[in-house]
């Protein structure tokens, strides 16, 4: 199975955000905000399994996203950059604090409580956006997390920091995870002027 890829091209990334905003202009009350899914995913480095568990009160008006990672059990405290914070606050304005930020219309069969969207629904949304944007790469839920890391790496975030953010044991794992390829290496050599 082919690994999901980050969105490397900034124009495609902007196009995805534009598509999400356009979708949200026409969404019905109670439907998931596609822009919110992308903004939180692209700016926090979190897995979709953690993003979907956030409630409005966890992010609205907050400087940090704090969560105990479902996969690793580790506590994460992630600064929300000012741009993402403004978008998140705008998209969560007026919503009850106990709602999931990505709330499903469906209820849990046993408890009848409202639940967050499923990983499968997040996957459908992300793939719909990617197809509309003309992205040919293999895209999935991890694309959001990988896109964060890829662009952090492109902006010269030290490899050790990315390893720590992703909780990887080696830079080789992080490099493979981010999808760093020959084109990326070539760009480094093009920029060096001695």
Active-site residues, by number, are 47, 71, 142, 145, 168, 177
Distance CA 102, CA 164 (A): 27
Sort strands 114-116 and 103-107 into parallel, antiparallel or unpaired.
antiparallel
H or E element in which residue 182 lies: helix 182-191
Chain centroid offset of residue 17 CA:
12
Closest CA to 85 of 29, 44, 25, 142: 44
> Cα–chain-centroid distance for residue 103?
16
Helix (H, G, I), strand (E, B) or coil at 46: coil
């Amino acid at each position: 199975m082919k690994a999901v890829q980050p969105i490397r091209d900034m124009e495609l990334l902007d196009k995805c955000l534009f598509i999400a905003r356009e979708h949200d202009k026409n969404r019905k009350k109670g439907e998931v905000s596609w822009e919110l899914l992308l903004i939180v995913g692209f700016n926090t480095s979190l897995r979709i399994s953690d993003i979907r568990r956030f409630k409005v009160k966890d992010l609205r008006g907050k400087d940090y996203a704090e969560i105990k990672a479902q996969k690793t059990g580790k506590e994460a405290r992630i600064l929300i950059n000012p741009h993402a914070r403004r978008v998140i606050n705008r998209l969560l304005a007026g919503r009850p604090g106990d709602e999931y930020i990505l709330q499903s219309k469906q209820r849990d069969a046993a408890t009848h409580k409202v639940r967050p969207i499923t990983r499968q629904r997040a996957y459908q949304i992300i793939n719909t956006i990617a197809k509309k944007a003309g992205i040919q790469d293999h895209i999935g839920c991890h694309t959001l997390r990988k896109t964060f890391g890829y662009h952090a790496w492109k902006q010269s975030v030290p490899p050790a920091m990315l390893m720590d953010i992703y909780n990887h044991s080696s830079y080789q794992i992080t490099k493979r995870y981010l999808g760093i390829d020959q084109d990326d290496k070539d760009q480094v050599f093009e920029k060096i002027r001695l």
